[in-house]
Amino acid sequence: MAIIGIVLGVVAIGLFIWLRKEQQMDSDLHSIEVDHIHQGMNALMNDFNHYQVETDRKIAELEKQLEIKTKQLERSQTKLVKDLPKDIRNVIGHIEFARPLDNK
C-alpha cells in the first residue's frame, strides 16, 4: 500500500510539474501575442497620424488655391464692371450710326 502511495505521489508531482510547464509556455505565447498586437496598434496609429497630417496639408493647400482663384475672379469681375459702361457706349454708338439694311 505504501508503494502505491509513493507512486501516486510521484505521478502527482510529475503531473504538477508538467502542467506548470504548459502554463508557462501558454503564458509566454500569450505575452508574445500581446507584444505583436501592441506593435500592430502602434503601426496603425503612426499610419493614421501620417494620414491626418497629410490630409491637413492638402486641405490648407486647397484653401490657399481657392483663395487665390477667388481673388483672381474678383479682379476680373471688377475690371468687367469698370469697363462695362465704355463697352455699352461703343456698342450703342455702332448701332446708332449704322445704316439700316432694309432700305427699300
Cα separation, 21 vs 15, whole angstroms: 10
Distances (CA, A) of 64 to 15, 70, 72, 73, 76: 73, 10, 12, 14, 19
pLDDT in tens, 79-104: 888 888 888 888 787 676 666 666 55
In three-state secondary structure terms, 102 is coil
Q: Which pLDDT belongs to residue 59?
A: 97
CA–CA distance, 12 with 60 (Å, rounded to integer): 71
Of 91 and 13, more confident: 13
Three cell numbers, residue 83: 469697363
How many residues are present in the chain? 104
pTM here?
A: 0.51
Write out pLDDT tens, residues 22-42.
999 999 999 999 999 999 999
Residues 49-70: pLDDT tens digits?
Answer: 999 999 999 999 999 999 999 9
Name which of 89, 43, 22 is nearest 51 in CA terms: 43
